[in-house]
Amino acid sequence: MGETWVRLYGELNDFVPLRLRQRPILRRWDVSPSVKDLIEGLGVPHPEVDLLLANGRSVGFDYAVEDGDRISVYPIFRRVDVSRISQVRPDPLPETRFVIDGHLGRLAGYLRMLGLDTAYRNDYDDATLAQVSHNEGRILLTRDQQLLMRSIVRHGYWVRATEPSEQLFEVAHRYGLIQVMRPFTRCLLCNVPLEPVSKHDVAHLLEPATRRHHDRFYRCPACQRIYWPGSHHKRMSALIDELCDRLAESEL
């Protein structure tokens, strides 16, 4: 039998009971596990980890744990670049795109509202979600820790908040979405970029009050849904303004 001490840092402590947080954790084993299996045995999904140290030396997820090892596990570094020493940080994605599990439908709508490419279907099973994330280079957002532990998932995040607007802030803060968002440019239903359309071309589809008070219209080329800056637009704009204010304050 071997023994290994594991120390989790920062937000990774969210995955363990209060009694184990912010302290070394003793793990005993009969057969030497990989460090990935060791930390996921504690409940920490590997996509949440940015740096692994074994006795002060950077290692990968396949490192075979040895008796007496002291393992340090770090979450995403936001202000320090550890890419040159980390052996577990995946290559950056060319663009910020998401795939979201079926329990986060409101969050999917909010991200599409910000103009972000967000794949969502409420009938995706876990295997499909993991495969879409892997094949299409999408960040997997979920409340299911076990889903993030699937080996093919490279980019993923366990959403801590349960209220949708808080989930949006959490994800926007983690991924710096204020730099890449383009609000109201994507269909909320289809996830397809909207196209401008003339009032004349859609007038027959509009209510009389909408025809009188609005002149700018957009259409989804997939589902043909029409968008215009009405009362729904004002409510969403207020939500976006509040989000931007909170993100600015969080950087102070």
Intra-chain end-to-end CA distance of the chain, in Å: 49
Residue-wise pLDDT tens digits, 24-34:
999 999 999 99
- What is the pLDDT at residue 72? 98
Q: Give yes or no for residue 231 having a pLDDT over 90.
A: no
Residue corresponding to tokens 């039998």:
1
User: Across residues 146-171, what is the average pLDDT?
Assistant: 97
Strand-pair partners of 51:
74
Q: Count other C-beta atoms under 10 Å from residue 33's C-beta.
A: 18
Give the helix ranges, DSSP H, for the chain: 35-41, 105-113, 126-136, 145-148, 164-175, 199-202, 208-213, 231-250
Residues 6+ apart with CB under 8 A from 148: 45, 46, 47, 48, 140, 142, 156, 157, 158
Cα 191 from Cα 186, distance rounded (Å): 6
Q: Are 93 and 139 in contact (CB under 8 A)?
A: yes
Rounded distance between C-alpha atoms, residue 187 and residue 224, angstroms: 10
Per-residue pLDDT for 252 more than 70?
no
Residue 209 pLDDT > 90, yes or no? no
pLDDT in tens, 94-108: 999 999 999 999 999
Kindly report whether the global pTM for this prediction surpasses the value 0.85.
yes
Using CA atoms, how far apart are residues 173 and 181, in angstroms rounded to an integer?
12
Tokens of 151: 């080996």
